[in-house]
Every structure is written in C-alpha cells, then in structure tokens.
Amino acid sequence: MPNSEEVPARKPFVWHGVLDPSQLFDDVVVASHQFADAAKVGDWSAVFRLLDDPSQPVDINWWRPGGTAWFTVLHQAAWHGAPTRVAAELIRRGALRSLTDSRGRTAYDIRLDKDSEAPGTKGVVAQQQKTFVLRERYLQPPPPSSHRNGSVHLIVISPASSTAVSVV
C-alpha cells in the first residue's frame, strides 16, 4: 500500500443546489453570474479561466443563482453545439451529464431538441453530424445501474484502505 504522500488527495464531491441568491455570499453570486454569462454566450475560454481560478467560487454543476432555466454549463455547451473537446473537458472536470434543467431535460435532451429543430440544408446537415458526435459520445447520461433478479449490485470502495467490497 502506498504511503499517504504518494496518494493524491481527493476532493469531496460537493453540489451547491442553492438557487436563491439571498442565501449566498455576494462574491459567490457575482462569480456565478459571470460563469453563467460566459457559458450562455459560448465563451468557453472564459468558462475554463473561471474554473481554473481558485479565487473564483464557481462550481461546474451549479445553476445560475436566481435563474429559472436551471441550465448548467454542460446544458449551455449542448445548446450551442460546442466543440466536442469542450464537452469532453467539462465532463473530465466533473460536469454531470444526468443533471436536468427546470423542464427535466438533460444536456443530451437539449442537444437532441436543437438538432431536430434545424432544417435539412447541406450546411445544417454537416453541423448536425458534428453535434451528433457531441450528443451521443459526450452528452448522453450514463445508463441506469444494472439490476440482476431484482437485486442491486453495489461496489463500495473504502477511501481509507482503497479496498473494494461487492454487495449484492
């Protein structure tokens, strides 16, 4: 077993599901609006700059405080038909493909809707082929856990011992 100096520290998963800006500190609200604004206009360099700045209290899975659409940055990437490298990097950084907006749509659903809206002209068909890869490879939520004979198969990993225990 490696000593503690060789094991990278794991950050706990924290999801900030707060929508009411009055429940948040002003600096968090300002940073969250900057983050949401950058994603809304498809400014991916600004999105990643904010994510990379440790002084900015932004979360990749957070909705705009006070917003009603509940779009995350991944929803915005789907809406804009962002390059696949953008979606891949958002997911690598922890963007959850299973989060839904206020209408119950995942990022995958958003892209599917946008692709079905476009008329079938030659330029649009090429764009739809690009967004098909985005949608199917990066935005599609993971399948629900498999069930065997009505039982749930669960693997628990103990962070203290790095031991996996299978529970059926």
| pLDDT value of position 77 | 97
| pLDDT value of position 40 | 97
| pLDDT value of position 20 | 82
116 — pLDDT class (breaks 50, 70, 90): confident
Residue 146 has pLDDT above 80, yes or no: no
What is the chain's mean pLDDT, rounded? 78
Q: Of residues 91 and 122, which shows the higher confidence score? A: 91
Determine what percent of the chain falls in helix, strand and coil, rounding each to the nearest 5: 45, 10, 50
In the block, tokens 């094991």 appear at: 7
Query: What is the pLDDT averaged over residues 93-117?
Result: 92
Structure tokens at 134: 């985005």
162 — pLDDT class (breaks 50, 70, 90): very low
- Domains of the chain and any CATH numbers: 21-143 (1.25.40.20)
What pTM value is reported for the model? 0.69
Provide, rounded to the nearest whole percent, the portion of the chain with pLDDT above 90: 46
The number of helix segments (H) and strand segments (E) in the chain equals 6, 4
Q: Of residues 16 and 164, which shows the higher confidence score? A: 16
Contact (Cβ atoms closer than 8 angstroms) between residue 53 and residue 59? no
Residue 154 has pLDDT above 50, yes or no: no
